[in-house]
Amino acid sequence: MAEIPLLTPYKMGKFHLSHRIVLAPLTRQRSYGNVPQPHAILYYSQRTTKGGLLIAEATGISDTAQGYAETPGIWTKEQVEAWKPIVDAVHEKGGIFFCQLWHVGRVSNYGFQPNGQPPISSTDKPLTPKVRASGVDIAKFSPPRRLRTDEIPQVIHDFRVAARNAIEAGFDGVEIHGAHGYLIDQFMKDQVNDRTDEYGGSLENRCRFALEVVEAIVDEIGADRVGIRLSPFAHFMESGDSNPEALGLFMTESLNKYGILYCHMVEPRMITPGEKHKTPHSLLPMRKTFKGTFIAVGGYDRDEGNKAIASGYVDLVAYGRLFLANPDLPKRFELNAPLNEYDTNTFYTPDPVVGYTDYPFLESMA
């Protein structure tokens, strides 16, 4: 049989991966009261293979980091303890598990914030209301409060403590969420960041916050346990940039100084079900610049993933919706078996089973 590039082994720092298929971080909104629940044990262990890399759903670093109902956190002792059996279940099956550290910034409202205060951001520019992914309701965003320069070290400290907590919970490492219009992206992107201090203006200044977060976490847990997710080309949550390629190149070049394990980059194409928007942009310049492991995500199927690995365009490919709906995705790719269809209506519901752990495996369909 011909070799399947996605199923070839790969050494990522000290981690020996048995294949190149990564579970992308996926918000599922089933962590009641911001505490991970026992039903996540089955969800993540279903998607674990020996030597496979999983990235946990976006996980809040503090009580100001929240913007969505029932998303997990890792800033309290209770949350850390709740993560432990989930991490243990992944490790028992031989998986490698990273926790994605998240602060939503202005993508929030008073109801999610301690004492009903304004969400914090790089700016005081509010977001316009949006129809939620469910299509059922409108997400209302409260006007944010621009962080003072002297407050920024506290937020960086929150990231540091969250990274420490993730290691205490048993995770193998952390991924810093620097994508999709959330707090770190709100500093990096010039469509959002209108600051005039050392955290605004030039590309170097706008990236300062992101790199200070990286530095703090590397100092806390070691560069060999740290990855970052970036989306320079994305406009999600009104977070576009006038020169995304320059932003991506500046970040990949700067990250090399810290020697972090991986860079997880979102492809410059928006993927909606049944439709792909091709763009003239490519991640190749960033791939060539970054010295660590390079992961790409964004609407890949089996064939595209295999081509990306075979050509050296990326080291690993992250899959979101396909992995959500196919807990045995590596096996299906190995056999080139048909895939379950995902149901967008159950992506963000609080149900502990439906659309979560009830997608069938190949053997149960035989």
Residue 23 forms beta bridges with which residues? 54, 319
CA dihedral of residues 233, 239, 243, 247 (deg, nearest 10): -70
Helix (H, G, I), strand (E, B) or coil at 343: coil
CA dist., res. 31 & res. 37, Å (int): 6
Residues with a catalytic annotation lie at 182
CA dist., res. 319 & res. 300, Å (int): 7
Phi then psi for residue 73, to 5 deg, are -125, 175
CA dist., res. 165 & res. 81, Å (int): 10
**Alpha carbon of residue 188 to chain centroid:** 16
CA dist., res. 207 & res. 254, Å (int): 9
Residue 138 forms beta bridges with which residues? 131
Q: What angle do CA 276, 279, 283 make, to 5 degrees?
A: 110
